Structure 1
């Protein structure tokens, strides 16, 4: 019965995959799968890059104030807001598994309930995270951050509290739309948000002379514009069957849903915070302001590249969860192979580009020649970071689509925090490797995690994963999953 509901094109793919017997047949199916992936990944990449650009554009404006203000914004954006973003994005990513598999199984009524449950859980978590913003200065000082940077970053954090709750509302909406392949709507709203943000930032910092406070206001307004724009799209009826209005079922079965949300949060937070620790530890090196500025600029550019692969992450998560929910394991496995080939090719292109432009890519972010030279000195380790991280987000997307969040959380904990950070610290301080030593050492953790995820993906029994998809929906979805669609 479920197969009878599938689109004809999907039926053909599922059947044809069993008939791949030659290179020519493989290439034909790979081209078709690439078309499917890019129809998802293209708008998702644009959305990720556009939303990341909000912080990056703000950093460019801050960099043309003073080095101290650049450092303060970079620290708040990467450490304080980075902690909040990791938790909210991670917990919202539970919807990628549940909504994706429910959509593949044609149980559309569950998507709206899941969205509302995620809002409840994420906004409650945001309230719990308020002390992080209220006491940002003593928290940064506890980690031995430079006193001037910590004080100014703490003041800025107070202005950024509205952004925290925008995160809590935005990421569940995005996962809800992604599961239904409604990625173009997200891209349009994000494009409008970028235009609004540039105009507001220029107005508040330039003619009005409001400095960092103006940048904070612009960020808050733009993030809430994004949230309301996407929600307006849903309310206008473009998600029939998936959104049926607010439902009291959203307040039931929260424990099972929260469990998966927590696993998603831990998995993604351990990844995002890994690089946050790089900035915090670098703040303890000599000439801290220049070192933090150089690493922050590299991390800004690194974030742009990661946003590209977050687009692949979203696309492969949707493809895997939809195919497993629909009982098509061969299609899920084939999609993984195709997206990995594409992501590695793009990673190699970024690697070459960074090495070729290592002496100039820091200039747009600062007027300090010393900082530009420090950025150039990190070119090689930065390029290897981009190459390794062309694969890792894609594999994480596979994990989310399949519902392996807790497994990957344990892997991240071991590779990043028991191996990567200790090795980096050893090279940076006792062995006097400085910033390059710290970053290079931490890459050992990234490499180890990538190898383990590749091995797990290759050894997975995808037929078994498909058979377990419906039980996952019941386990983590609760009583709403028992209601059939008509």
Structure 2
């Protein structure tokens, strides 16, 4: 068992390591922008936090979720040796996500009245709305980026993307310093820098796909327009499942804006959420890895291997989550200095350290279980679980504790943690009672309907040259 666990762990880390690094670099660009805004002023930090967690969060969550449909389809097609379908799937996802971005753009355009309708601080609303307009190009970068990311992830071609992400992060840090502080463009400079950094990533990834993924990318094809409705349904299920996760924690920042000293509360929550988001990139890496492992093994007809992979990744991620909690509690009086010069904000953050630590532990398991759901294609079921745990139980409980019991941001956060804890328990039970043999059969049906054929399953020992090489050399 120890040998098998070590072998599986190496397979997971081979995918998760680069995936984590890519996500940490991408997320760090936003954190750098937040840090710069914090040193411009309290209102500037709150405006960037509101735009990032509410306006961008709404769009990001939905597009990321819709793009995650490719984790199911590309992963299972790759496991079945249907590599040529990956490029077609990616193009279908581009069409759907770009169309969705056009609709989501109205959230950016009308950000100020939307935020004022939600009764935020007026000064923060005006600045956040102006900043949102400048950030509109990033929305369409997401629509191009997420399908490419899933396309490469399914093939485990992530090292080149990791180098691209690192280069973009370095460029972003330099341009942030130059445009925000030296040139004096303030938040406009921050928006220009962030948009430019994302389009550098998108352009470089596309060039890599064209020149180094010739087995899976055969150029643009009219096949991308086939079976669009079925693809939209799976994308929508993925979008609802994952965006409910993103919106849930984003609403914490929104609700904090209704409290006394709203700017201080929003700043403190923003700092905690940025650190939580940084840590979450580790577990989103595991989310990606387990999604690929489960979808590959189900597509290749190995249900027991998929189940074993789930056990290994849960234990690994939980251990890391406990370590992160310990670090936060040990440095609770120091870490806020990175983001702000305000003593009041730093003290507020220190008082929230325990909640942040507990959230980090829960977030070490929950994204992994969501990755299992994506790999298995259970998005519709998990969407119902998320609605019940988050919006029927967690959010109302948070409102009750925050406003009725006058516990402020800590009360809101505590109630929402209860919803996350319940969701995690339910996902664990669903995973535990899963019939993995049935899941493998459903993966076969899915591939046959969307580009595969039953003939590919007559000899499961031959699933494509690249897949076989990976299995023999984990």
Structures share a fold, TM > 0.5?
Answer: yes
1:258 equivalent in alignment to 2:232: yes
Corresponding residue number in structure 1 for 2:316: 342
Alpha-carbon displacement from aligned partner over 1:172-215 (angstroms, at most 9, x marks no partner) = 00000000001112211101110110111111112211100000
2:293 and 2:393 map into 1 onto residues whose CA distance is: 32
1:37 equivalent in alignment to 2:37: no
Corresponding residue number in structure 2 for 1:395: 369
Mapped contact 2:447–2:453 kept (Cα < 8 A): no
Corresponding residue number in structure 2 for 1:299: 273
Mapped contact 2:253–2:270 kept (Cα < 8 A): yes
Select the residue among 72, 85, 94 that pairs with 2:47: 72
Select the residue among 348, 372, 378 that pairs with 1:404: 378
1:269 equivalent in alignment to 2:250: no
Alpha-carbon displacement from aligned partner over 1:377-412 (angstroms, at most 9, x marks no partner) = 101111110011110000000000000001000000
Corresponding residue number in structure 2 for 1:5: none
TM-score calculated relative to the size of structure 1: 0.93
Mapped contact 1:359–1:372 kept (Cα < 8 A): yes
1:210 equivalent in alignment to 2:223: no
1:483 and 1:466 map into 2 onto residues whose CA distance is: 13
1:330 equivalent in alignment to 2:304: yes
2:427 and 2:219 map into 1 onto residues whose CA distance is: 39
Alpha-carbon displacement from aligned partner over 1:124-156 (angstroms, at most 9, x marks no partner) = 000011110110001011111111111000001
1:449 equivalent in alignment to 2:423: yes
1:471 and 1:433 map into 2 onto residues whose CA distance is: 51
Output the aligned Cα RMSD.
Answer: 1.2
2:367 and 2:394 map into 1 onto residues whose CA distance is: 17
2:195 and 2:325 map into 1 onto residues whose CA distance is: 34
1:333 and 1:157 map into 2 onto residues whose CA distance is: 43
Select the residue among 3, 23, 32 that pairs with 1:57: 32
**After TM superposition, where is structure 1 displaced by more than 3 Å over at least 4 residues in a row?**
480-486
Segments of 5+ residues of structure 1 without an aligned counterpart are 1-25
> Residue 97 of structure 1 aligns to a residue in which SS?
helix
Shift of 1:346: 0.2
2:145 and 2:191 map into 1 onto residues whose CA distance is: 18
2:373 and 2:327 map into 1 onto residues whose CA distance is: 29
1:90 and 1:265 map into 2 onto residues whose CA distance is: 4
1:484 and 1:56 map into 2 onto residues whose CA distance is: 49
Select the residue among 144, 147, 157 that pairs with 2:122: 147
2:434 and 2:421 map into 1 onto residues whose CA distance is: 20
Q: 1:483 to 1:339 in 2, by over 3 A?
A: closer
Mapped contact 1:41–1:314 kept (Cα < 8 A): yes
Corresponding residue number in structure 2 for 1:180: 155
2:191 and 2:321 map into 1 onto residues whose CA distance is: 33
Select the residue among 60, 66, 86 that pairs with 1:85: 60
Mapped contact 1:355–1:383 kept (Cα < 8 A): yes
Shift of 1:249: 0.6
Mapped contact 2:444–2:454 kept (Cα < 8 A): no
> Residue 364 of structure 2 aligns to a residue in which SS?
coil
> Residue 182 of structure 2 aligns to a residue in which SS?
coil
1:190 and 1:234 map into 2 onto residues whose CA distance is: 15
TM-score calculated relative to the size of structure 2: 0.95
1:468 equivalent in alignment to 2:432: no
Corresponding residue number in structure 2 for 1:17: none
Mapped contact 1:107–1:484 kept (Cα < 8 A): no
Corresponding residue number in structure 2 for 1:247: 221
2:425 and 2:182 map into 1 onto residues whose CA distance is: 51
Mapped contact 1:133–1:157 kept (Cα < 8 A): yes
Alpha-carbon displacement from aligned partner over 1:15-71 (angstroms, at most 9, x marks no partner) = xxxxxxxxxxx1111011111111111000000111111110100111110111111
How many residue pairs get matched? 457
